[in-house]
Amino acid sequence: MAKTIYVLNGPNLNLLGTREPETYGHHTLADVEKLCRDAAARFGLTADCRQSNREGELIDFIHEAGASKAAGIIINAGGYSHTSIAIHDALIAVKLPAVEVHVSNIYSREPFRHHSFVASAAFATLCGFGIEGYRLAISGLAAKLGVTAKS
């Protein structure tokens, strides 16, 4: 079985910790990446963490995950979640299990955030748990893969 999961973060997530901390909290992207590496390691997996503000680059990362036969994808597509059919299509095309994550509760925010194109390409969506949503997503992905935590 593949041991690598791709953790993909979209636009503006590089500003975590400083961007609207009342909505997104004070943790940084580096905190998210450490949390993901640690959570993945509990299951004997490796988290390959990447961030881009460019839609095409996120799609390239998804294609790379498919080509390398990664175990799965955790994705926070940021604002592209609500606009990008292309990211949806890329996730469908690579046929890898994916979990969508949002730091904030998108359903308690502006109405345009209530729809996600990414959600229908993922087997699960988590929102509103802050960066803990990434740990939950990795646990859920591991369960989907049939991988148990190492003691």
Cα–Cα dist 138/151, whole Å: 17
Q: Tell me which DSSP letter residue 12 carries.
A: T
- pTM, two decimal places: 0.93
Amino acid, single-letter form, for residue 143: A
Question: Mean pLDDT for each 10-residue chunk of the chain (151 residues)?
Answer: 92 89 83 98 97 98 98 96 95 98 80 83 95 98 95 70
Q: Is 102 considered catalytic here?
A: yes
Beta bridge partners of 4: 46
* Cβ count near 112 (within 10 Å): 10
Cα–Cα dist 115/150, whole Å: 36
Map out the domains of the chain with their CATH numbers.
Answer: 4-145 (3.40.50.9100)
Spot the catalytic one: 6, 88, 102, 134: 102
Q: Is residue 65 helix, strand or coil? A: helix
CA distances to 24, 26, 72, 78, 147 from 91, in Å = 25, 30, 10, 15, 22
Q: Is 107 considered catalytic here?
A: no
Spot the catalytic one: 24, 80, 88, 134: 24
Beta bridge partners of 124: 99
Q: Is residue 48 helix, strand or coil? A: strand
For 99, phi and psi rounded to 5 degrees? -125, 130
Q: What is the pLDDT of residue 29?
A: 96
